[in-house]
């Protein structure tokens, strides 16, 4: 497997805030071309994954011609764009010419590897629409599993479509997903607002084997995880979520103190969740401000989860902890979530950004 990437990166806020004497030399790197360093990369190659960079700039990203790059058709190569939504990162592939993904789940695992691959939480395919929709979205997680949908991923998906179709300004699309119809709308400021549809609360449809305790829903129910009794609310946003604000020993979580790698898998693979589950651990700052960390089914700890943020607000409303419009703070940044009473739909608004463009031999 070989990769050639053209990369354009922006200085992170931490560097932009540095004193001029420190930041200036970093900015000067923007004129550096990797052609002069090609010999250094030869020592980093391994037999299965070779990386070479044609150019790299650090500074304000320059507009790369997507048409000239993604429209190329080379036998044995796939061109991709890497995006992230608050640090939840994805490899986006133009798959509009086929109803089958251009790579296999096994190949996706290799591409998502952060040491020997491109590095990502998943691979997303833009595919032809079905049943009257504009497009179909499919995803392979970093472990090769296929989730129904991904909130941060669908924002990246929308921005990728705008690039592919050379669209500007406010745009909306209808997208068929494993979770049903999703409608993302690119805003004038570049953020993406997504109608995530209605939350599913019926226990058997989430799915969870926990007994319903409130109108067929599981709300603030006890879940025994390795001898610790957690209070959980179960919500599906087309994919299953287990939301917890605390346990019997600690009713109010401080999420930064959690050992997510230790506790997350125990929730994901718990016998009460026949399809496994995403798990959100939530700290309440106010009626309009929540903080969460997430263990994603099939991806582990990630910097953000859009469907998870939606599930958190739904759970917070059901438990009487928050209002219907909240800012949800994730490790990668904030998302604005609203659960509207008028239509019972959940709306998510947040950013999606290009990281770099590349090609990979498959």
* CATH number of the CATH domain containing 181: 3.10.310.10
Looking at the fold, whether 189 and 69 belong to one and the same domain comes out as yes
What positions carry a catalytic annotation? 150, 305
Tell me which residue of 215, 203, 213 sits closest to 242, measured CA to CA.
203
Looking at the fold, whether 19 and 138 belong to one and the same domain comes out as yes
Looking at the fold, whether 188 and 208 belong to one and the same domain comes out as no
Looking at the fold, whether 89 and 105 belong to one and the same domain comes out as yes
Answer whether residue 54 is part of any domain.
yes
Number of domains in the chain: 2
Answer whether residue 318 is part of any domain.
yes
Tell me which residue of 125, 120, 135 sits closest to 84, measured CA to CA.
120
Looking at the fold, whether 143 and 47 belong to one and the same domain comes out as yes
* Domain coverage including residue 240: 203-344
Looking at the fold, whether 158 and 217 belong to one and the same domain comes out as no
Answer whether residue 23 is part of any domain.
yes
Looking at the fold, whether 69 and 210 belong to one and the same domain comes out as no
What is the C-alpha radius of gyration for the chain, rounded to an integer number of angstroms? 21
Looking at the fold, whether 292 and 147 belong to one and the same domain comes out as no
Answer whether residue 198 is part of any domain.
no
Answer whether residue 244 is part of any domain.
yes
Looking at the fold, whether 313 and 181 belong to one and the same domain comes out as no
The pLDDT tens digits of the residues spanning 165-178 come to 999 999 999 999 99
DSSP class per residue in 74-133: -TTEEEEEEEEETTEEEEEEE-TT-SS-SS-HHHHHHHH-TTTSS--SEEEEEEE--TT-
From first to last of its 362 residues, what are the pLDDT tens digits of the chain?
444 444 444 444 433 433 443 333 333 333 323 333 222 322 233 334 333 333 223 233 455 555 556 666 666 788 999 999 999 999 999 999 999 999 999 999 999 999 999 999 999 999 999 999 999 999 999 999 999 999 999 999 999 999 999 999 999 999 999 999 999 999 999 999 999 999 999 999 999 999 999 999 999 999 999 999 999 999 999 999 999 999 998 999 999 999 999 999 999 999 999 999 999 999 999 999 999 999 999 999 999 999 999 999 999 999 999 999 999 999 999 999 999 999 999 999 999 999 999 999 87
Looking at the fold, whether 85 and 210 belong to one and the same domain comes out as no
Looking at the fold, whether 70 and 105 belong to one and the same domain comes out as yes
Answer whether residue 250 is part of any domain.
yes
Answer whether residue 153 is part of any domain.
yes
Query: Which DSSP state fits 211?
Result: P
- Note the pLDDT of residue 73: 64
Answer whether residue 124 is part of any domain.
yes
Looking at the fold, whether 137 and 175 belong to one and the same domain comes out as yes
Q: What is the dihedral of CA 204, 208, 213, 218, to 10 degrees?
A: -110
The pLDDT tens digits of the residues spanning 90-124 come to 999 999 999 999 999 999 999 999 999 999 999 99
Sign of CA dihedral 140, 142, 148, 151: negative
Tokens 């179709």 label which residue? 165
Tell me which residue of 222, 299, 288 sits closest to 260, measured CA to CA.
299
């Amino acid at each position: 497997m070989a990769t050639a990437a053209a990369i354009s990166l922006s200085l992170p806020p931490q560097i932009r805030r540095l004193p001029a004497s420190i930041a200036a030399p970093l900015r000067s790197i923007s004129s550096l071309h990797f052609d002069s360093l090609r010999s250094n990369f030869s020592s980093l190659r391994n037999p299965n994954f070779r990386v070479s960079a044609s150019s790299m700039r650090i500074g304000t990203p320059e507009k790369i011609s997507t048409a000239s790059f993604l429209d190329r058709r080379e036998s044995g190569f796939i061109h991709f764009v890497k995006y992230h939504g608050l640090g939840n990162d994805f490899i986006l592939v133009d798959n509009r010419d086929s109803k089958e993904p251009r790579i296999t789940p096994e190949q996706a695992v290799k591409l998502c590897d952060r040491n020997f691959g491109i590095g990502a939480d998943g691979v997303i395919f833009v595919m032809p629409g079905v049943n009257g929709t504009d497009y179909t979205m499919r995803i392979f997680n970093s472990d090769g599993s296929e989730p129904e949908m991904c909130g941060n991923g669908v924002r990246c998906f929308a921005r990728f479509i705008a690039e592919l179709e050379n669209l500007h300004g406010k745009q909306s699309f209808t997208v068929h997903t494993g979770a049903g119809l999703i409608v993302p709308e690119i805003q004038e400021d570049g953020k993406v607002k997504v109608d995530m549809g209605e939350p599913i609360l019926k226990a058997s449809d989430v799915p969870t084997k926990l007994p319903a305790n409130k109108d067929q829903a599981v709300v603030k129910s006890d879940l025994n995880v390795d001898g610790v009794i957690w209070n959980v609310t179960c919500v599906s946003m087309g994919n299953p979520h287990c939301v917890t604000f605390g346990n019997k020993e600690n009713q109010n979580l401080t999420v930064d103190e959690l050992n997510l790698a230790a506790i997350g898998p125990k929730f994901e693979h718990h016998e009460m969740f026949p399809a496994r589950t995403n798990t959100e651990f939530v700290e309440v700052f106010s009626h309009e401000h929540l903080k969460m960390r997430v263990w994603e089914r099939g991806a582990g700890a990630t910097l953000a989860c859009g469907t998870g943020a939606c599930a958190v607000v739904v759970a917070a409303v059901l438990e009487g902890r928050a209002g219907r419009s909240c800012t949800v703070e994730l490790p990668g940044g904030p998302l604005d979530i609203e659960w509207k009473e008028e239509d019972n739909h959940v709306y998510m608004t947040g950013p999606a950004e290009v990281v770099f463009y590349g090609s990979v031999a498959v």
